[in-house]
Structure 1
């Protein structure tokens, strides 16, 4: 660190230069990220609550009210009653917290999850000193329920199911998983992506199998408002069917305004609470429905153009994620990158992964689809 502070003009130039080196969603060239450009009111709300820290809630009663109201709206969206919960930094923190709670509630040390579950489950097992039992998926890359029935045993603390897998966007058969877990193990749902997509697909008439608190066995669920919820980062929410389970992870916090703290983080960046509240109040079900409908229209357009060229998706997209089987995934990714498109790849199975978020316009989707076909022809994929 230099001795004297630099002039504001120079500092802003440095910041501007750094920002220019970043990629930006507004350019409609990023199709590999599950995040997107927050809506304007969410940005303004975030800026208004920069000082807030719900790790010490007694000082931030207004922010605390916003969090409670946000959780109430989410409980209604997810068909839950009298749910407990709080805002977390992301689904990784939510997954770790839920599994921590399951371990301490059941006094068991085994997690069962499909190989398609998010890598944060492996982080959680390592941090919590738990054993992760990874089971196979079915032909549609969903958790295999028969394998689950064989895997759940006396030492199983929790089962993790996914409502919108990171690689393919598929939904595990959560109703059948719930039946298996009922009175046997804690069932946690990772709905980081699907949480702000599936309810609005259902509203539009799409048949979506039960995946939320309608399933009796579901004990907890996490969803990210900073993905399809259109809020700023970080804004995610962990909800539990029985708030009493939080007592099992509570620690005394004598020098704060709350007697106990149950969150993994001590200092909680709470501007995202206001951003999520603002996004949800501003958009409502109708606004979210329109956003999801546009994303699905663009997704279907990309899939249709790819199919015309003989490029098939791994599975028929339920949500706005499409993964394509190509012969040389890395070569196609490099070819698209050379044309300015940022896409990602999946490992299971090896495929080109395309996430069609709200910042991807119809025009950009059409241009991307054309370039995808051209690159595949060029590299022989």
Structure 2
């Protein structure tokens, strides 16, 4: 619903949000828990840009002093307007100007029965030595944040109390990062961005850089990506944050063709999240590796190192090979033909 002051209200029974004219979130409410997500006096989905001039390796290094150059992106080309309303999807769109050469076009999407608010983003990028990020100040306090990595997750401090903590101002991660306190938390999900920074209660996702060496045209041009914010009760495991991240990365897509039950079944399996090892596929319950133990049945997959442990032969049955994993353990199999 478009309000008189230009803001837009959206609700799907799980989330309720108020979006300002510039595309920032004035409010994001988790209805079941009666919890507001956005910090007092702050706005979520705030784009910010930094000067990014490393000392040595332009395309590889990110120096901590870039954090002192924070500048919000505030120039609105087209204010928030309703793109679609009602039915199974509601969305609004807006356009921002980063500079005279770069723009952001975004659609904020709320789907029916979806636990996260999605941000479909297009950036026309023509900057030099700049770093684009998006910030979400949230009402969560925790000394540690959790980041997804391959086959598991890790934790990093949200404070800079020591030089070791300060050195980890930017953290790598895959499909999600989570900041949780007792029985409440907020997750950032994304489909292609792998740098996060969670300091105190501000969750930041790194979006684009503009290095000029070794490639003077690196990352210039059009970019398209999606990220999402998901407030939840309980832990990230209990709240199915891992499943939600898979759903964001493997969305259901409408197709006009005769119904085929086998295609439908395969699509459901893909929706649960494929895990690829070397060149052979391995189907795993999504995110189960993050819970500690992963029972897996695999038909075939190979180890490129071609080394084997004769004391640990794999037991092969007509149904395949059954493996048991310790927490965060990675196992490889050698197939000898």
TM bin, normalised by shorter chain, reads under 0.3
Structure with larger RCO (C-alpha < 8 A, sep 6+): 1
Which has a greater percent of strand?
Answer: 2
TM-score, normalised relative to structure 2: 0.27
